[in-house]
Chain A
């Protein structure tokens, strides 16, 4: 038998569910109307190398690119034929046989144009396993076990680059020359705002996310920084090769092999995890201890 009070309470909760919903949505959701744009912009100016590190000859052709911090190498021309075959097999169904993109759902640029993006861009996506995409319709491709080997990925990037040679080339960082303390400072300023200061990644706006940096080889870190894949901004002239080298060293040493002298790292989630552990293990276990120390009633 429900008392009148209970009936009233249930009525209030149902009304609030129905009534407050639209109110909350109205004040919470839209301050300005947001039109969804295609997720892949058409990237002009994608291949601009670090403008301080480029040596040009008298004709204005770039002849040297890189230094003692990072060496940039274009993939070998001998891989182009293999790359062509691999591309037609694995990539052409979405990106087109000429790698210049295919409209999907009537939206231009949905499966993007890869021409002129530079070998490092292509190599990053393929070598990290993000491409071929597990779900081509997802907002952000997830990292997974790569479908192609390292050499096969290089071959694909060699072929795509051959369509319109561009920058950046594949970076090979020389970690022995890097300064991990400078890398820590640069990481905190440029990278921590998306990837978190511990490098674990997190959910970002809409359904995008920044990936964890824990299991990434050094070449891939450098490629990501220089090419800015997907929603990640690219760092070209604003970070010198020495600075990128420092960041790569910091990520591959401290982030990927943290010291953790204090015990278990609790997943790098910070105070959220600490709160759980403190309340569950600390207060919880002590409350149980109190249950033993004290008495129970009848």
Chain B
């Protein structure tokens, strides 16, 4: 190990039996014995790793033998370098990176005069080439970006809920008016989409029964929750996580990701947390056979905000 209190000496001016090239440890034989033990243990561990692998042992045994082997070998090698190799400290001169003034001037001259003057004389060519490079830089981004995917157009503004869509659960079973008790929640989709990626990502809706009679969440939504079935988009308006956490006594829908809390009884208005907008409510009705169906699509885009969201 380097001895900080000794004066650093240059490496090259030393003879091979200089005391500064001797091992750093005061008892190198003892250290050597300790290092040998480390190496032996390390080798045994690594051999053990081989054996464990052979017999398909559990992962922790594989890892323990591998880790122990590497660790002991590492300790041995470091100890060798630290205690058995020449103690120092040794010194080396730094040379200034910067070259001489003459070299720097010659370098600058080469660039500015030799190269620059050529362009200076041909300003028109320089300008045209610059313009061409600019256009090239722009159009080369086209395939790199545009070919990756489609244009968004109006995709984000609509879901697959339509007028008359049957409300189904994730197995495709249609929800009937007698299914849920007050205080129940279910994740539902428009019929036909429950197995598709888009269906799950965009159309996912929570169906909550808040009462036995028709329920009004906000003015103008008197017909939207027949028999107390309220349906909100499950896609959080903050960052799109499914808002599946329903606390029936607090009447709160809590988003598990960043804990935005939406009040179920007044139109899923956010009470707390970072969500900026209420969850859109899906207007429902019950048809003559007792099945729940949607009156129309959501009246606004579902999910997190984006520039074109009106």
Q: In the complex, A touching B, CB below 8 Å?
A: yes
Q: Which residues of A contact B (CB under 8 A)?
A: 29-32, 34, 37, 39-41, 43-46, 48, 51, 189-190, 192-194, 204-206, 208, 228, 230-238, 261-263, 292-293, 295-298
Q: Report whether A51 and B254 are in contact in the complex, using a CB–CB cutoff of 8 Å.
A: no
Q: Report whether A48 and B263 are in contact in the complex, using a CB–CB cutoff of 8 Å.
A: no
CB closest residue in chain B, given A230: B249
What's the Cα separation between A159 and B19 when bound, in Å?
A: 95
Closest chain B CB from A201 CB (angstroms): 12
- Tell whether B32 is near chain A: CB-to-CB under 8 Å: no
Contact A295 B2, CB 8 Å, known A31-B270, A233-B185: yes
Q: Report whether B263 and A205 are in contact in the complex, using a CB–CB cutoff of 8 Å.
A: no
Main secondary structure of the interface of A (DSSP, over half): loop
- Tell whether B112 is near chain A: CB-to-CB under 8 Å: no
13 residue pairs of the A-B complex, CB under 8 angstroms, read: A48-B178, A228-B184, A231-B247, A231-B248, A234-B181, A235-B184, A236-B180, A237-B178, A237-B179, A238-B180, A261-B60, A262-B60, A263-B63
Q: Report whether A205 and B184 are in contact in the complex, using a CB–CB cutoff of 8 Å.
A: no
Residues of B within 8 A of A298 (CB): 4-5
Residues of B within 8 A of A263 (CB): 59-60, 63
Contact A204 B181, CB 8 Å, known A34-B263, A293-B82: no
Residues of B within 8 A of A39 (CB): 249-250
Which residues of B151-209 have CB atoms within 8 Å of chain A's CB atoms?
169-170, 175-176, 178-187, 208
Residues of A within 8 A of B78 (CB): 292-293
Among B5, B169, B247, B256, contact of A208 (Cβ-Cβ < 8 Å): B247
Contact A234 B183, CB 8 Å, known A41-B248, A208-B247, A262-B59: yes
What's the Cα separation between A208 and B169 when bound, in Å?
A: 28
What's the Cα separation between A189 and B250 when bound, in Å?
A: 21
What's the Cα separation between A39 and B249 when bound, in Å?
A: 6
Given contacts A37-B249, A45-B182, 15 further A-B contacts (CB under 8 A): A31-B270, A34-B271, A34-B272, A39-B249, A41-B249, A43-B182, A193-B256, A205-B247, A228-B184, A232-B248, A233-B185, A234-B183, A236-B180, A237-B179, A298-B5
Closest chain B CB from A29 CB (angstroms): 7
- Tell whether B251 is near chain A: CB-to-CB under 8 Å: yes
Contact A44 B261, CB 8 Å, known A204-B245, A205-B250: no
What's the Cα separation between A51 and B175 when bound, in Å?
A: 11
- Tell whether B246 is near chain A: CB-to-CB under 8 Å: yes
Q: Report whether A237 and B180 are in contact in the complex, using a CB–CB cutoff of 8 Å.
A: yes
Contact A238 B186, CB 8 Å, known A31-B271, A48-B181: yes
Residues of A within 8 A of B176 (CB): 51, 237
Q: Report whether B4 and A205 are in contact in the complex, using a CB–CB cutoff of 8 Å.
A: no
Contact A236 B184, CB 8 Å, known A34-B263, A34-B271, A193-B242: yes
Residues of B within 8 A of A40 (CB): 249
- Tell whether B259 is near chain A: CB-to-CB under 8 Å: yes
- Name the residue among A43, A193, A295 with the largest chain B CB count within 10 angstroms: A193
Q: Report whether A261 and B247 are in contact in the complex, using a CB–CB cutoff of 8 Å.
A: no
Q: Report whether B178 and A51 are in contact in the complex, using a CB–CB cutoff of 8 Å.
A: yes
- Name the residue among B242, B251, B252, B259 with the largest chain A CB count within 10 angstroms: B252
Q: Report whether B247 and A32 are in contact in the complex, using a CB–CB cutoff of 8 Å.
A: no
Residues of B within 8 A of A232 (CB): 248
Residues of A within 8 A of B245 (CB): 193-194, 204
What's the Cα separation between A190 and B234 when bound, in Å?
A: 13
Residues of B within 8 A of A32 (CB): 263, 266, 269-271
- Tell whether B120 is near chain A: CB-to-CB under 8 Å: no
Among A44, A231, A237, A261, contact of B250 (Cβ-Cβ < 8 Å): A231
CB closest residue in chain B, given A36: B250
CB closest residue in chain B, given A231: B247
Q: Report whether B272 and A29 are in contact in the complex, using a CB–CB cutoff of 8 Å.
A: yes
Q: Report whether A231 and B249 are in contact in the complex, using a CB–CB cutoff of 8 Å.
A: yes
Among A46, A205, A293, A297, contact of B259 (Cβ-Cβ < 8 Å): A205
- Tell whether B58 is near chain A: CB-to-CB under 8 Å: yes
Closest chain A CB from B96 CB (angstroms): 26
What's the Cα separation between A212 and B185 when bound, in Å?
A: 21
Closest chain A CB from B13 CB (angstroms): 22
- Tell whether B1 is near chain A: CB-to-CB under 8 Å: yes
Q: Report whether B182 and A205 are in contact in the complex, using a CB–CB cutoff of 8 Å.
A: no
What's the Cα separation between A68 and B264 when bound, in Å?
A: 36
CB closest residue in chain A, given B276: A31
Q: Report whether A236 and B179 are in contact in the complex, using a CB–CB cutoff of 8 Å.
A: yes
What's the Cα separation between A205 and B264 when bound, in Å?
A: 14
Among A189, A194, A238, A297, contact of B4 (Cβ-Cβ < 8 Å): A297
Which residues of B1-26 have CB atoms within 8 Å of chain A's CB atoms?
1-2, 4-5
Contact A238 B261, CB 8 Å, known A193-B245, A231-B249, A293-B78: no
Residues of A within 8 A of B60 (CB): 261-263
Q: Report whether A233 and B248 are in contact in the complex, using a CB–CB cutoff of 8 Å.
A: yes
- Tell whether B36 is near chain A: CB-to-CB under 8 Å: no
| Chain A to chain B: the 3 pairs with minimum beta-carbon distance, closest first | A237-B179, A193-B244, A231-B247
